[in-house]
Amino acid sequence: MNPLLLFLIPILPLFGGVINVCFGSRLPHRLVSGLSVAAVSGSFLLATLLWPLGSGEGTRVVLFSWLKSAGFQADVGILFDPLAAVMTLMVTGVATLIHLYAAGYMAEDESPARFFALLNLFVFAMLCIVLADNLLFLFLGWEGVGFCSYGLIGFWYRNSKNASAGRKAFIVTRIGDLFFAIALLWLFSAFGTVMIEQINARVAELDPLLLTGLTLLLLGGACGKSAQLPLMSWLPDAMAGPTPVSALIHAATMVTAGVYLLCRMFPLVSLSPTGMAAIALVGALTALYAASCALAQREIKRVLAYSTMSQIGYMFLAVGVGTVSGAMFHLLTHAFFKALLFMGAGCVIHLAGGENDIYRMGGLKEKSPQVFWLFLVGILCLAGTPLTGGFFSKDAILLTAFAAGDGFYATLWGIGVLTAGLTSFYSFRLLYLVFFGTARQAGQGHAPSPLMLWTLPPLALLGLCTGLLNLPHLFGGHEWLTLWLGQPMAEMLPVGTEIGLLFLMLIFFVGGWVIAHVRYRTFPGDEQAGWRSFLLSGWQADRVYELILLRPYRAICRFCWQGGDKALIDGVMEGLARLCLHWGDYVRRLSNGQVAFYLQGFAWGLLLIVGWFLLASVK
Amino acid sequence: MTLSDLHALLPQLILALGATGILMVGAWWPSRAPWVLTGVALSFCAAISAGIVLPTVTEVGGMFGVTPYARFFTILWSILTGLTLLLSLRYAKVHRFAGAEYTALVLFAGAGMSLLSAASSLVGLFLGLETFTLVLYILIAFNRGEAIGAEAGLKYLVMGAVATGFLAFGIALIYASSGSFHLPEAMHGLQIDGQMRPLGLLGWAMLLVAIGFKVSLVPFHLWTPDVYQGAPAPVTGLLATGAKGAMFAALIPLFAALGTLTLELNAVLAALAMLSMVGGTLAALPQRNLKRMLAYSSVVHMGYLLLGLMSGGPDGQRAVIFYLIVYGIATLGAFGVITSFAQADGEPQDYETFRGLGYRHPRRCSALSAFLLSLAGIPPLAGFFGKFGIFHAALKSNHHLLALVGILAALVSVSYYLRPIIVLFMQERPAQRLRPGCTHEFAVLTVCFSLVLYLGLYPGPLLELISQILPSP
């Protein structure tokens, strides 16, 4: 197989996107969506076919040198190693299903060309991140993802709320990008190259302090894209976009980019204990924070948004405790069940007649058993029900954290277990409020289109069975994913401890479920108590940012604008201009039309010249 | 005067004798367009003959050089004459000019300008200068029906007569001091113990007054706006480009011959340049009349040129010549647009009449904007490299203060160049239609426009050519 074929994987979506940008508005609706689905499924097929290229050391191909000047080189090149192969397959696969779903979901929209073009470009940008062999090319994709998310979240831009949600996502992730950009430049100045392989091979040369700084900067960049504390505030608002976009952002692209970056740079990151601890801490705290916020959310998509944030927190924790395979394992399972949940939520919203509030739903189980069962699978995976994909992947992370031993990691493990209990609770709360009890929605819903419905079963199957990918030895597996990624096997805990921990997890899972069952089996009525509104607003994070960041910023801006620009600069400029005009008027009036006066000019001029010459020669 | 002398003067003879012929035959056969077109043909003949007929001598009668430098300017002014005549074709018809006389006068002016640029002695300089100044007295007032034209002509005559007096007196004093009219000797003779003789200094003072009038430097500039406004637009174009350019072309060898003695004049030259740049800029700011604005802006441009002249050396000389050409093209183009809009009852000059005209006559108004932007020195138009060359030369020769003033003046100049453009394009109001243009006018404007653009993008070839024809020091 020609390795250059690898380039077709990102180029196909780019091509689809560009065609839709240029000609989409003149093409029929079906052709637009068809083209876009074909482009992404084409890359999925290619990724499957080219899978063998990713084994072992992987394959590196260069299409051409993008930038080349003394000492600096950036290629348009692909590094298709095991990590990238897994990620590519997941991204293209899930994206294909989401595109299919979107073709059904957006069938009635006014501007499908813009939507599908952005969707394709989104996948293209994500594939750039995944496949790039150097950080600059990766950064290109990184920014592309940011831009496309901006365009898609604010897709229905006529509503200013949506537009500002898009803006918020763009700006907040942009803050993270800044850190990443600094890290990129710093790495270049330290190594003289931006090649990922070369950097990872030479990290041992670096000063530990510098290494910690770089790790923290990379963490900052990852936090922005992956919506981790403290750059998490854009994710709940990003629900303003169409549901397929939410699915794409949360499952296949965007938020996983941060985790992937840390995995890609793991040889560098892992050498800094402080950096690793920071990553783990950020992950654990975000997991807890987001899970607590999810407890009180009212909108179905916001519950899912916070759950994503929380699950990504687990992945960060995994990187922080040193298990790339754990992070990637959870990333994969999460991608499947989260795509399933979001697309299921889209169906639910259609069923409920456009209602978003779970307190205004209920009783949907009778209305559409199919959606219920599929959604149930997603919820079970999310809650970590034993033997589902989500259970194995989450368990692997927590086990590694526990095995890390010292007090700090033990605390993080505790947080993780507590979060697992919370997750179980809010997952089932969602399920009960939406599908059980009495029907409370006002509008008359309609059944989702077959295209939407039939994209869900493959995801449900994958979500349930991904556990097999990395089945631990305890269950008779061989940790295939870990082997494939070439990562060291997790330390074997004594079997007794491992079983004990499993039981603990089970207790937390069952506890969360039982509480949810008792409380939400039947509809308890609207709840708006004080602590709930605190959690509903995400711990008032927006207000805190408003207070400590935005207000001072606005004050500075106002000062610079009113004081600096308007008063000082404009004042000086206008004053000078007025002065010039005033003098100009005076000079202009010298030309008064009198020849005698003009001749005087001669006389004065001559007098001055002769006078000067006289003075000069006297001297 | 030998045959080879006549052979060397062939281009000027074509212009002058052709003009005489047109004048004489025109008396029996009054007509308009044929004569003007004959004039155009003669001008281009002169330009071509200056380009291909190689002279066998280097100097004619000890007065006019036939160096490549002189030939270059002969070509330049001949082409300018031809373009001016082409531009005047319709204007002359509308204003019922006597075709033969008008053509002959413009051709005489061309001959005078080319003689002035070729002058290698002070007498030659005087002759060349007076040849076209005399012609311009008549041309400015050629529109006899209009009081403003007559007034402008009279003003120019009175002032010009005084200036001629200064010029003659100055030349006489220099001759008295150095004992020679011939250029290098006349200037070398002024020197005594490394300083200039007092009499020579006085002569130079007189000379500077006359030069100041001809190229309108502050404080000898007061006539400029009145004459610009009153003269017919094509004549103003000739006056603003050729008359001033030829003077500067003559000054370059004059200053080169002066050598180190220039240092004694530097303070006065610097004062003149500074006054011109500042005064012209300030006076141009409040103008509401395009021709008057261009008059004041030409004062500023002359200040820049003087700055380049002071910088001296091959760099300064090259910058001055390049600037002259670029300024000439843009100015001719600007007056060309005014000419093409002119109607029997007058020319559009006030900004009020230009309001919203860009939507009525987009091509000519765009060209006018390009010419104005080039004058302002905005890249990628030719004016940018012109200014760049001047300021570069000035900074290299340590005229930091003047260069700074020049750059500031250029900055402020954007304001008064943009104002007419804004009026043309940004204020939508149904403008009254002006005269539709005709083919010859469009041809001239196209030539100017393409040159402004071409020289802004590829100034290299012209700069190279100028370097080759510079007078050897």
* Mean pLDDT of the region A596-611: 89
Eight-class DSSP state of A270: T
Q: Which residues contact A211 (CB under 8 A, 6 or more apart)?
A: A203, A268, A271, A272, A275
Q: Residue A70 pLDDT > 70, yes or no?
A: no
Condensed to tens digits (0 to 9), the pLDDT of residues A21-44 reads 888 778 888 888 888 899 999 999
* Mean pLDDT of the region A445-470: 82
pLDDT band (50, 70, 90) for residue A614? confident
* Mean pLDDT of the region B116-142: 93
pLDDT score for A353:
79
Among A580, A590, A610, select the one facing B412 at the smallest CB separation. Answer: A580
Higher pLDDT, residue A71 or A318: A318
Report the percentage of chain B scoring pLDDT > 70: 99
CA distance A595 to chain B (A): 6
Condensed to tens digits (0 to 9), the pLDDT of residues A92-124 reads 999 999 998 888 888 777 788 888 898 899 999
Do the chains contact at B166 and A602, CB–CB below 8 Å?
yes
Q: Tokens in use for B77?
A: 């002014």
pLDDT band (50, 70, 90) for residue B73? very high
When computed from its CA atoms, the radius of gyration of chain B, rounded to whole angstroms, is 21
* Mean pLDDT of the region A291-298: 85
Q: At A268, which amino acid appears? A: L
Eight-class DSSP state of A563: I
Query: What's the CA gap between B143 and B130, in Å, rounded?
Result: 22
Q: Is B279 on the interface with A (CB under 8 A)?
A: yes
Q: Is B282 on the interface with A (CB under 8 A)?
A: yes
pLDDT score for A239:
83
Eight-class DSSP state of B182: B
CA distance A68 to chain B (A): 28
Q: Which residues on neighbouring strands pair with residue A60, listed in sequence order?
A: A79
Eight-class DSSP state of A449: P
Average pLDDT of the residues of chain A: 84
Q: Is B303 on the interface with A (CB under 8 A)?
A: no
Query: What's the CA gap between B42 and A402, in Å, rounded?
Result: 102
Do the chains contact at B219 and A605, CB–CB below 8 Å?
yes
CA distance A562 to chain B (A): 25
Q: Residue A490 pLDDT > 70, yes or no?
A: no
pLDDT band (50, 70, 90) for residue B430? low
pTM, full prediction: 0.64
Q: At A225, which amino acid appears? A: K
pLDDT score for A133:
86
Do the chains contact at B223 and A598, CB–CB below 8 Å?
yes
- B275 contact residues in A (CB cutoff 8 A): none
ipTM comes to 0.86
CA distance A588 to chain B (A): 5
Q: Which residues of B204-239 are buried (b: 16+ CB within 10 A; e: fewer)?
A: bbbbbbbbbbbbbbbbbbbbbbbbbbbbbbbbbbbb
Q: Tokens in use for B37?
A: 């077109």
Most confident of A278-282, A494-498, B192-196: A278-282
DSSP letters, B215-246, are: TT-TTS-THHHHHHHHS-HHHHHHIIIIIHHH
- A591 contact residues in B (CB cutoff 8 A): 222, 224-226, 283
**With a CB-CB cutoff of 8 Å, which residues 547-606 of chain A face chain B?**
577, 580-581, 583-588, 590-591, 593, 595, 597-599, 601-602, 604-606
Q: Is B193 on the interface with A (CB under 8 A)?
A: no
Q: Is A617 on the interface with B (CB under 8 A)?
A: yes
Q: How many CB atoms lie within 10 A of CB B185?
A: 14
Condensed to tens digits (0 to 9), the pLDDT of residues B265-292 reads 888 999 999 999 999 999 998 888 999 9
pLDDT score for B228:
93
pLDDT score for B409:
92
pLDDT band (50, 70, 90) for residue A528? low
Condensed to tens digits (0 to 9), the pLDDT of residues A359-404 reads 777 777 777 888 888 888 888 888 888 878 888 888 888 888 888 7
pLDDT score for A69:
67
Cis preceding-peptide flag for A524 (omega within 30 of 0) = no
Q: Residue B339 pLDDT > 60, yes or no?
A: yes
Q: Residue B177 pLDDT > 80, yes or no?
A: yes
Do the chains contact at A609 and B201, CB–CB below 8 Å?
no
Report the percentage of chain B scoring pLDDT > 90: 65
Q: Are strands A72-80 and A59-69 parallel, antiparallel or unpaired?
A: antiparallel
pLDDT score for B472:
64
pLDDT score for B110:
95
Q: Where are the domains of chain A?
A: 1-133, 134-544
How far, in whole angstroms, is CA A303 from its chain's centroid? 17
Cis preceding-peptide flag for A448 (omega within 30 of 0) = no
**Structural domain tally of chain B?**
1
pLDDT score for B473:
53
